[in-house]
Amino acid sequence: MTVYSPSQLEDALNILRDPGFVVIAGGTDYFPSLKMGGSQDNILNVMKLPEMNTITFEEGGFRIGGAVSWTQIIKSDLPAAFDALKAAGQEVGSIQIQNAGTIAGNLCNASPAADGVPPLLALEAEIELQSAKRGKRQIPLVKFLNGIRNTDRQKDELVTSIFVPHPPKGMKSVFTKLGSRSYLVISICMTAISILLNGSGRIIDIRIAVGACSPVAQRLKTLEREMIGCRPNEVAICERHLLSLTPISDVRGSAVFRQEAVAEQIVRSLSRAVL
Please choose, out of 21-29, 34-42, 201-209, 220-228, the segment that lies near ligand FAD by the rule CB under 6 A. Answer: 21-29
Task: Please report how close the Cβ of residue 166 comes to ligand FAD at its closest, in angstroms.
Answer: 23
Interface residues for ligand FAD in 62-121 (CB under 6 A)? 66, 91-93, 97, 100-102, 104-106, 108-109, 114-115
Which residue in 34, 95, 184, 228 binds ligand FAD (CB under 6 A)? 184
Pattern 115-144, ligand FAD, x by CB under 6 A: x-----------------------------
From first CA to last CA, the distance across the chain in angstroms is 53
Question: Binding of ligand FAD at residue 265 (CB under 6 A)?
Answer: no
Nearer to ligand FAD, 151 or 194 (CB): 151
Q: Which residue is nearest to ligand FAD, using beta carbons? A: 105
Nearest CB to ligand FAD, comparing residues 92 and 174: 92
Q: Which of 21, 26, 195, 261 binds ligand FAD (CB under 6 A)?
A: 26
Q: Specify the stretch interacting with ligand FAD by CB under 6 A; choose among 76-84, 152-160, 218-226, 240-248.
A: 152-160
Instruction: Establish if 162 lies at the interface with ligand FAD (CB under 6 A).
Output: no
Q: CA 91, 158, 93 angle in degrees (round to 5)?
A: 15
Nearer residue to ligand FAD within complex by CB, 90 or 222:
90
Return d(Cα 65, Cα 81) in angstroms, integer: 18
Burial of 269 (0-12, 13-18, 19+ CB in 10 A): buried
Which residues would be at the binding site for ligand FAD (CB under 6 A)? 22-30, 32, 46, 66, 91-93, 97, 100-102, 104-106, 108-109, 114-115, 153, 158-159, 184
